[in-house]
A = this chain, B = another copy of it.
Amino acid sequence: MPDSITLPWASDFHCHLRQGAMLEAVAPMVEQGGVRTVLAMPNLAPPLTTTQMALDYGARLQALAPRVRFILTLYLSPALTPAEVERAARAGITAVKMYPSGVTTNSEWGVGDLQAYHPTFAAMQAADMVLCLHGECPSDAARNVCILNAEERFLDTLRDLHRAFPRLRIVLEHATTRAAVECVKALGDTVACTITAHHLFITVDDWAGQPHHFCKPVAKFPADRAALREVVASGHPRFFLGSDSAPHPRAAKQGERPAAGVFTTPILIPLVASLFDALGCLDRLEAFVSTNGRRFYRLPPADPADGSITLTRAAAAKLQIPAAYAAGPDTVVPFMAGSELAWSIASTDA
């Protein structure tokens, strides 16, 4: 086992950077976490439903973090006509995010009937855009659907979409179950899967009575976590990092109705490296945090000329995770606040 690793700057294919004061605080933390390519989620208020809105957001992001490459996304809604898809693709927007209505933060504008969007998906397939799925069914007590099986119940929809649009690249975001992992593995090369850092660490026991570990989809059984760990340790080429880092002010997490979201941006790659070390699969780290996702998103392989990061597990360099980060008038509590990671970023090159 090496005591230090040099990687190209990493890529995070699912990140919530927010807006306003929160964005200003969080955008500079992307590099702090070892990342210089970020797919930025469009679930702002209001959501990014048009090409112009996404471009304006991209310009704002770029101004705040000039060395980071931002991959822009649109929020699937009736505004996303086939003509708008073509406009977006021409403007360099890479992906479209679909939220089922009501399942997570700012998803209240989300999608009910998928069939109505088939012309949009056809246009995306033609324009080679990527469809990112928040893969959960809305809860429905009469059908025994709740947050514990919402992902598994969604998989038929994923299979149907892939069958209907076999050339459309689809990413099942933030998989949390063995069922989702097995489903994605069984589908074709146009279907990939992101996994967060925190879902590699936690199970349901960790978010019950711990609002800073509460997110959607919720972490599930130990056997599900084991499936996530196994697939990243295997280096499967269609599984890669999408942190789903989602900052909320502390008050929104510790009130009567804690918001869903785990914040990992400023500690992201040390967090993943520490886990991969513990799992004995550091040799898969670069595939997970860089190679696999870039290949699927058809980005050029990370170029050492664009700089690199060196991670260390020197005893004297352990990463002490802060109790909280300042974010404008608020503070944001990170994942594993106050604890220590074995790996840290020792240096960066360029």
Show the binding face of A for B, using Cβ within 8 Å: 139, 141-142, 144-149, 203-205, 207-212, 214, 218, 221-223, 225, 254-260, 333
Contact = CB atoms under 8 A, between A and B. Distances in A.
Contacts of A255: 254
Contacts of A211: 209, 211, 256, 258
A204 B148 contact: yes
A343 B89 CA distance: 58
Contact of A256 (B212, B256, B259): B212
18 contacts: A141-B203, A141-B225, A144-B222, A144-B223, A147-B205, A147-B208, A148-B148, A148-B204, A208-B214, A208-B218, A209-B211, A209-B258, A210-B258, A211-B211, A211-B256, A212-B256, A254-B254, A254-B256
B209 A139 contact: no
A111 to B, nearest CB: 20
B260 A209 contact: yes
Contacts of A257: 209-210
Contacts of A333: 256
Contacts of A212: 256
A146 B259 contact: no
A60 B134 CA distance: 54
A222 B153 CA distance: 14
A146 to B, nearest CB: 5
Contact of A146 (B142, B147, B221): B221
Those 4 A-B pairs whose CB atoms lie nearest each other, nearest first: A141-B222, A144-B223, A144-B222, A209-B258
A139 B222 CA distance: 10
Given A139-B205, A211-B211, A214-B209, A221 B149 contact: yes
A149, A212, A221 — which one has the most chain B CB atoms within 10 A of its CB?
A221
A145 B223 CA distance: 9
B210 A145 contact: no
Nearest to A140: B222
A317 B223 CA distance: 50
Contacts of A203: 141, 146
A257 to B, nearest CB: 6
A129 to B, nearest CB: 32
Given A144-B221, A144-B222, 8 more contacts: A139-B205, A148-B148, A148-B204, A208-B214, A209-B257, A211-B211, A212-B256, A254-B254
